[in-house]
Amino acid sequence: MGPAPRISVVVPIYNEEESLPVLYREVQETLDGRGWSWELIFVDDRSSDDSRAVVLALRERDPRVKLVCFRRNFGQTAALSAGFELARGEIVVTMDGDLQNDPADIPGLVAKIDEGWDIAAGWRKDRRDAYLLRRVPSWLANRLVAAVTGTRVHDTGCTLKAFRRQVVKNLPIYAEQHRFLPAMSRSSGARVGEVVVHHRPRRFGRSKYGLERAVRVLLDLLAIQMISRFSHRPLHYFGLFSLPFAAASLLFLFMGTVNWRTFEMVDEWPQFVVFVFVLFLLLAFYYVLLGLLSELAVTASGMHRRRVLDRILSELH
């Protein structure tokens, strides 16, 4: 193992045998053209085709090509996180294995990191995908993510991103969180910049996404919102959550027991008003209790004391 390279390119692959030689050549031409030292890490998410043999053939010719093989299919986030673990470069670039990302964009992303940003996110301004099936849902999702997490990134779904090494080494990701990496790391103080990148139509294989993910994405988003903003003070989150319920209970009580014309309280409170009032009030209390429980979980894990990424980044800048 030689000295650490400047750039690590991490590429999760799943049945991409046709694209890989082209991808390798483009990465090699671009990065060697700049005179940078680099490594190219493929993470094979248990492809059923010959992707693995193709990568090993590339590796025969060029030892800068590395390969991690999974025991079975574990998904893209797991693949990225395995690649991050292996990466040794100062700057870690992630990209898709299907050639829709253009390796020629890597220097632009690297330049952005050199300017002082911690993450350079690719923005496919001019997408080459089916309009209705891919671009509209993606636009909606991006607006939603931006609104919920408060991180204005135009294109969270774009895998082509560059990270300062410290970010990927200190930010654990799991369960499809790779899309939310900018949002999650920004809450730790990372500076997120954007670079417009090319987007090429698919040449080989077929798209591995479907449209049936709406509910899951919404739920994931709710989780990300909480984690990225409130993971250190979950009580605040649950407390805010309980407010509307408390308000609803009081409103119902007020409307049910106050005479609209005279603004006097009615003599006998209707039974159902009291029921509904109590039920909503209980819900509000319940959420506060859940918040306390979460505080307990966070404290017990010692997470609040670590905050490694925040510390490293604040020393860096």
Assess contact for 210 and 136: CB atoms under 8 A: no
Instruction: Give the residue carrying structure tokens 């390969």.
Output: 67
Interacting stretch for other proteins, rule CB under 8 A, among 111-119, 141-149, 191-199, 301-309?
301-309
The distance of closest approach from Cβ of residue 107 to other proteins in the complex, given in angstroms and rounded to an integer, is 26
Is 160 near other proteins (CB under 8 A)? no
Q: Binding other proteins by CB under 8 A: which of 11, 23, 82, 93?
A: 82
Nearest to 232, CA basis, from 181, 187, 279, 175: 187
- Fill in the per-residue mask, 214 to 253: x = in contact with other proteins (CB under 8 A), - = not in contact: -xx--xx-xx--xx---x--x--xx--x---x--------
Binding to other proteins by residue 45, rule CB under 8 A?
A: yes
| Residue closer to other proteins (CB basis): 204 or 275 | 275
CB of 70 to other proteins, least distance (A): 6
| Among 28-36, 55-63, 113-121, 192-200, the segment contacting other proteins (CB under 8 A) | 55-63
**15-32 exposure pattern, b = at least 16 Cβ within 10 A, e = fewer:** bbbbbbeebbebbbebbe
Residues that bind other proteins (rule: CB under 8 A) add up to a total of 66
* Site string (4-43) toward other proteins, x via CB under 8 A: --------x-x-----------------------------
Nearer to other proteins, 83 or 103 (CB): 83
Report which of 36, 41, 158, 56 is spatially closest to residue 102, judged by C-alpha positions.
158
Residue 50 per-residue DSSP state: S
Residues with Cβ < 8 Å from 204, sequence gap 6 or more? 16, 18, 19, 98, 99
Task: Answer whether 60's CB lies under 8 Å from 138's CB.
Answer: no
Q: Report DSSP letters for 272-284, one per residue.
A: HHHHHHHHHHHHH
Q: Strands 119-124, 38-44: parallel, antiparallel or unpaired by DSSP?
A: unpaired
Taking the CA atoms of residue 219, residue 225, residue 228 and residue 229 in that order, the dihedral angle to the nearest 10 degrees is -150
Nearest-approach distance from CB 145 to other proteins, in angstroms: 16
Judged by the rule CB under 8 A, the positions of this chain that interact with other proteins are 1, 12, 14, 45, 55-56, 59, 66-79, 81-82, 86, 172-176, 208-210, 213, 215-216, 219-220, 222-223, 226-227, 231, 234, 237-238, 241, 245, 270, 272, 275-276, 279-280, 282-283, 286-287, 290, 293-294, 297-298, 300-301, 303, 306
